[in-house]
Chain A
Amino acid sequence: MANHDHSHLEEVAVQDHHGHGHDDHHDDHHGDKYQSNFITHYIFSQDHKIIARQFLITGMFWGVIGALMSLVFRLQLGFPEESLAWLQPVLGKWIVVNEAGMGTLDPDFYYALVTMHGTILVFFVLTAGLSGTFSNLLIPLQIGARDMASPLLNMLSYWFFFLAGAVMFASLFLSTGPFSGGWTAYPPLSALPQASSGSGAGMTLWLVSMVFFIVSVLLGGINYITTVLNMRTKGMSMWRMPLTIWAFFVTAILGLLSFPVLASAAFLLMFDRNLGTSFFLSEIFIGGEALEYAGGSPILYQHLFWFLGHPEVYIIILPAMGMVSEVMSVHARKPIFGYKAMVFSIMAIGFLSFIVWAHHMFMSGVNPFISNIFVIFTLIIAVPSAVKVFNWIATLYGGSVRFATSMLFAIGFVSMFISGGLTGIFLGNSAIDIQMHDTYFVVAHFHIVMGVAAFFGMFAGVYHWFPRMFGRFMNETIGKIHFWGTLIGAYAVFWPMHYLGLAGVPRRYYSFATFDFSGQFGMMNKFITIAAILTFAFQLLFIVNFVYSIYKGRKQKEMNPYGATTLEWTAPVDAGHGNWPGAIPTVHRWAYDYGKDGKEFITQVTPLAEGEVDGEH
């Protein structure tokens, strides 16, 4: 599987014999039988490129499930007067059919779907599916490494994710139902089976799944950080790394520091549930009896949860931001504007993300005094986010924009991030949050930034790096139809939700009919549901395109089809384990020499000309 044809390596500088930045040969497995049977090559692979694809495909599987769940509960919400009896063959007892044959979704299962939708999409799709895929694919290739620092831990990182998914999947089939207390899993609801049937076995499996998932994230994160710090090729200083790598790097640090706190919350919750402790519980009367728990506080859980929960959303968005920067630069044929400012913004966002968590808790009963601190830092974090938006727009200015599907999604990302990010400024101000907390205004905000913007970043990445993963291209026509349908559809689904929130409608309501102030929005609910169904249908275009193109897509003939500057395009199309068949290229310049000195692009491996100054100075 080693490709000894060096004719395409003319741009690769000859390695300096006595100045290796690191020993690049100890992983050189050319010609040997490295991972050559089906099991070791495809299933328990330790090659980062294969692991990346495993993350992607598993992430896509969960994405479809999570989206389908949302369609089911939106059908109940948008069309409560229509019978859902036709879903009974699939959902069994969770569709309650009355004597007239009218089927409604069992409220317990409605809440289970809402919970699972959130859990699956936030963790399995947007964390594992996004970071897992692209950190794995791009870190070694873009910094010039043969593989990750520990391919074994990397392989384990995927399989723990798979295990977490398997456990969560199993919980969907429990007779008492999957966990249904919201993806945030606040106790006492999540601690007491008497409070909700999903808080029995369903919650136990949810917690087990989460613990496995956290292990996966930590294993991956350690690898990404170590690889970026230690295995960059000669000449690849930190300041010459593409923004994607900066984003993945900071994301991994965020994950490493914050996920253990979620694990602690999960363990304490397990203790309360199974060992009779009272970390989160106190003075509870339920199921006809006064429980023994004393002295605990539900608010402690919220602090522990959101200490992860807030960095988590930046763990989701930062990789998307990194990829968008890359795609925009390549397809505008211009350097990303303000590279250093972008790096500092990523760092600032990363750092600040640790000190804003209690903006999720303004109305939780915490002393209002501490909310002052969290308002200040939350609104500060808006500044580096704004800076990034301005830099993306400035990247377009004076560019020569090619509207590849990936570029369309990158532009769409910026639009969505503007829309969703601005509503964050409302919510971050506690005075406004008094009214907006736990309403549809919040639902609109986080869906637009996470459910749409982050997904757009992911789509941009998939369309752009598909050839790097599969040696073929996805179909551009289908891709563009996918983009336009999703852009319009996503705005149609989530924009109206702002008005619901502003009218005071709380989130996580099974029905709007019990209250006058919410009952007026029947038409809007129908509109949103229909828009959601249509938008989901457009995703079919993506899935079909993806699967078909793996086998029948237009073949990638040249090594660097987009005329990009970064290292992943200097490895052969069918790069095997070890990425570069010969020596790893040496880097001489930053990653953004597009349009410099009249040249359309200059790859990072091209030596500086006489008197030329490197762009990243």
Chain B
Amino acid sequence: MTALVIILTIVLAIVVIIQIGRLSELAAKIRGEKEAEAESDKRNAYGMMVFLVLFLLFTIGSAFYYKNSILWFGPHVSASAHGSSLDKIFNVTLFFTGIVFVATQVLLFWYAYKYRKQEGKKALYISHNNKLEVIWTAIPAVVMTFLVVSGLDAWNDVMADVTPTEVAGEDYIEIEATGMQFAWLLRHPGADNLLGTRNYQLIDGTNPLGQDWTDEKNHDDIQPDKIVLPVGKKVRVRITSRDVLHNFDLPHFRIKMDAVPGMPTYFVFTPTVTTEQYRKNLGALDKNGEPLYPEWHTPSDPTDPESVPRWKAFNYELACAELCGNGHYSMRRIVEIVTEEEYERWLGEQKSYYETSIKKEEAPAEEVSVETDTEETEEETEE
């Protein structure tokens, strides 16, 4: 029944359109083609100006309306050290392109209106102006050069890997994120600060990362369900994939890097804003005690007005940013940036994956070792 109604509506719409068309042509014939065309031209010419004004209002207005959602305006300072350099390049580019945007859109629609066909006015025969061509080639070229140079300067800095003289544990913390369909497997190097080797052929139900247990570096590796890092300390994320392409995406930190099976990638960064501090930024009050960003004070659960306000419930999130199958949109992990002390405390509470999941299977061996305690001491004395 609904289908019939829809079909009939469409048919009706088609008939209406055809009638409007035929009517307009008839009206034009009656009025005189030239006059009808002149009327239409005038309407459309005015339309150009009306559109221009509304368009600029809509585009610029909406930018202001949404600015507090944009990740480097309002409360959203970069949560990493390098982020601000990238944000700056964006702002500089916005400055230049914004000027061009307004200037060209204005000229386009205004000229269309101003030079509309008018009684007695003839078009000018101006075919070219080489000087103008040089000017408006040179200026964009100069601006582009500037953007390239500042952009690449930031890029080469940000994308650089740790140097060979830097030591894991002292100069930076190395963690690992492995994308799989459809979750992030996280790995922390544990007390020795080194990630153990992996072999994808060792992957099975109890060894999701294919860690090579003969490599002792693996024995203290932790597999947390969220990323916890201390503020102010350099981090190197080793990024890999188990199956298809994924992408390690931390938008608040200005971090993004593809996870490629068979080719580990990396990103080096220093978190500079703790989760706690970021929350405070979102929930900040002005000098009158009013929220600076009211949208962040609404309930975090829209169905429960009593729920914690959004700013309090905020968490940094890890997402996947490369289509990886039907669960691509659901690969979420929480990222917590905490103080040095909180980090040490958290680290102390973690158990290595080897301890909890692998060694357990070798439990009979443990019992044996208890009995041979005395044997060991005998051996020692023998030595």
**Is A101 part of the binding interface, using a Cβ–Cβ cutoff of 8 Å?**
no
Determine if B123 and A399 form an interchain contact, defined as CB atoms under 8 angstroms apart: yes
Cα-based distance from A512 to B107 in the complex (angstroms):
39
* B165 interface residue per 8 A CB criterion: no
In the bound assembly, the distance between CA atoms of A431 and B93 in angstroms comes to 11
Residues of chain B within 8 A (CB-CB) of A337 are 126-129
Question: Are A299 and B263 closer than 8 Å at their CB atoms?
Answer: yes
Q: A418-B105, A499-B70 are in contact. Are A544 and B17 (CB under 8 A)?
A: yes
Please measure, in the bound complex, the distance between the C-alpha atom of A387 and the C-alpha atom of B137, giving whole angstroms: 6
A615 surroundings in chain B (CB, below 8 A): 127
The A-contacting residues of B in range 17-65, CB under 8 angstroms, are: 17-18, 20-22, 24-25, 37, 40-41, 44-45, 47-48, 51, 55, 58-59, 62-63
Indicate whether B124 reaches chain A with its CB closer than 8 angstroms: yes
Closest to A503 in B: B69
Is there contact, CB below 8 Å, between A188 and B108? no
- Chain B CB within 8 A of A168 CB: no
Take A383-B141, A502-B70, A506-B319 as given contacts and tell me if A375 and B136 are in contact as well, using a CB distance cutoff of 8 Å. Answer: no
Tell me, yes or no, whether B236 is within 8 Å of chain A by CB. no
Interface string of A429-454 (1 = CB under 8 A from B): 11110110111000000000000000
CB of A511 closer than 8 Å to a CB of B:
yes
Residues of A within 8 A of B111 (CB): 393, 396-397, 399
Task: Determine, out of A149-157, A254-262, A401-409, the stretch whose residues face the partner at the interface.
Answer: A401-409
The CA-CA distance from A78 to B371 in the complex, in Å, is 66
The distance from the CB of A311 to the nearest CB of chain B, in whole angstroms, is 20
- Within the complex, the shortest CB–CB distance from A89 to chain B, in Å, comes to 7
* Residues of B with C-beta under 8 A to A376: 148, 152
- B contact patch SS: helix
Using known A-B contacts A189-B244, A284-B200, determine if residue A431 contacts B155 with beta carbons closer than 8 Å: yes
Question: Within 8 Å of chain B (Cβ to Cβ): is A516?
Answer: yes
Residue A339 is within 8 A (CB to CB) of chain B in the complex? yes
Q: How large is the interface on A (under 10, 10 to 19, 20 to 34, 35 or more residues)?
A: 35 or more
Report if B273 contacts A (CB, 8 A).
no
The reply to whether the CB of A31 lies closer than 8 angstroms to some CB of chain B is: no
A475 adjacent to B24 (CB under 8 Å): yes
Looking at the assembled complex, report how far the CB atom of A547 sits from the nearest CB atom of chain B, in whole angstroms. 9
Does the CB pair B247–A438 fall under 8 Å? yes
A182 vs B328: C-alpha distance when bound (angstroms):
12
Q: How far is the CB of A428 from chain B (nearest CB, A)?
A: 9
- Distance from A190 Cβ to chain B, minimum over Cβ atoms (Å): 9
B115–A382 CB distance below 8 A: no
Interface residue? B77 (CB, 8 A):
no
What is the distance, in angstroms, from B375's C-beta to the closest C-beta of chain A?
Answer: 40
Q: In the complex, are the beta carbons of B59 and A282 less than 8 A apart? A: no
A111–B327 Cα gap in the complex (Å)?
10
Q: Which residues of chain A from 515 to 557 have a CB within 8 Å of any chain B CB?
A: 515-517, 520, 540-541, 544-545, 548, 554
State whether the Cβ of A166 lies closer than 8 Å to any Cβ in chain B: no
A396 contacts B322, CB within 8 Å? no
B317 to A: closest C-beta gap in Å = 5
Task: State which of B224-232, B248-256, B283-291, B358-366 sits at the interface with chain A.
Answer: B248-256
Residue pair A399, B105 in contact (C-beta under 8 Å): no
Q: Among A480, A506, A594, point to the contact of B321 (Cβ < 8 A).
A: A506
Tell me the interface secondary structure of chain A in the complex: helix
Residue B191 is within 8 A (CB to CB) of chain A in the complex: no
Contact B55 A491 (CB under 8 A): yes
Of residues 89 through 127 on chain B, the ones whose CB sits less than 8 Å from some CB of chain A are 89-90, 93-94, 97, 100-101, 104-105, 107-109, 111-112, 115-118, 121-127
Question: CA–CA, A472 to B367, complex, Å?
Answer: 95
In Å, the complex CA distance between A159 and B306 comes to 64
> B3 touching A89 by the CB < 8 A rule?
yes
Q: Which of A39-47, A362-370, A457-465 contacts B (4 or more CB under 8 A)?
A: A362-370
- B326 and A514 contact, CB distance less than 8 A: no
Inter-subunit contact A516/B314 (CB<8 Å): yes
A382 contacts B261, C-beta separation under 8 Å: no
**Interfacial chain B residues near A186, Cβ < 8 Å:** 245, 322-323
Are the CB atoms of A368 and B123 closer together than 8 Å? no
| A122 to B117 alpha-carbon distance, docked (Å) | 37
In the bound complex, how far is the Cα of B75 from the Cα of A503, in angstroms?
Answer: 12
Does A476 lie within 8 Å of B332, measured CB to CB?
no
B126 and A432 form a contact (CB under 8 A):
no
A576 close to B (CB within 8 Å):
no
B159 touching A368 by the CB < 8 A rule?
yes
Q: A188-B245, A363-B247, A434-B256 are in contact. Are A297 and B128 (CB under 8 A)?
A: no
Chain A contacts for B152, CB-based, 8 A = 372, 375-376, 430-431
Tell whether, in the assembled complex, residue A283 and residue B261 are in contact, meaning their CB atoms are under 8 Å apart. Answer: yes
Within 8 A of B (CB), among A384-437: 386-387, 389-394, 396-403, 408, 411, 414-415, 418-419, 422-423, 425-426, 429-432, 434-435, 437
Q: For the complex formed, measure the closest distance between the CB of A566 and the CB atoms of chain B, giving whole angstroms.
A: 16
Question: A239 in the interface, Cβ–Cβ < 8 Å?
Answer: no
Are A438 and B69 in contact, with the CB atoms below 8 A?
no
Task: Name the residue of chain B whose CB is nearest to the CB of A199.
Answer: B325
On whether the beta carbons of B144 and A379 are closer than 8 Å, the reply is yes
| Interface residue? A607 (CB, 8 A) | no
Which of A338, A401, A517 interacts with B128 by CB under 8 Å? A338
Residues of chain A within 8 A of B263, CB atoms compared: 282, 297-299, 365
User: Given A393-B108, A437-B321, A475-B24, is A510 in contact with B329 using a C-beta cutoff of 8 Å?
Assistant: yes
Interface presence of A495 (CB below 8 A): yes
| A568 contacts partner chain B, Cβ-Cβ < 8 Å | no
Any B CB within 8 A of the CB of A235: no
Give residues 264-287 of B contacting A (CB, 8 Å): 265
Verify if B201 is at the interface (C-beta below 8 Å from A). Answer: yes
Chain B residue at smallest Cβ distance from A331: B117
Q: Give the distance to chain A from B257, nearest Cβ to Cβ, in Å.
A: 6
Select one of B62, B254, B314 contacting A435, CB under 8 A. B254
A430: chain B residues at CB < 8 Å are: 151-152, 155
The reply to whether the CB of A86 lies closer than 8 angstroms to some CB of chain B is yes
**Given A298-B245, A437-B256, A510-B326; A517-B151 close (CB under 8 Å):** no
Would B108 and A418 count as touching, CB distance under 8 A? yes
- Residue A581 lies at the interface, judged by CB distance under 8 Å to chain B: no
Assess whether B158 is in contact with A434, with CB atoms less than 8 Å apart. Answer: yes
Q: Which of A443-502 contact B (CB under 8 A)?
A: 475-478, 480-481, 484, 487-488, 491, 495-496, 499, 502
Q: Which residues of A contact B (CB under 8 A)?
A: 86, 89, 107-108, 110-111, 180-182, 186-189, 192, 195-196, 281-286, 290, 296-299, 332-335, 337-341, 363-365, 368-369, 371-372, 375-376, 379-380, 382-383, 386-387, 389-394, 396-403, 408, 411, 414-415, 418-419, 422-423, 425-426, 429-432, 434-435, 437-439, 475-478, 480-481, 484, 487-488, 491, 495-496, 499, 502-504, 506, 508-512, 514-517, 520, 540-541, 544-545, 548, 554, 592, 594-598, 600, 615
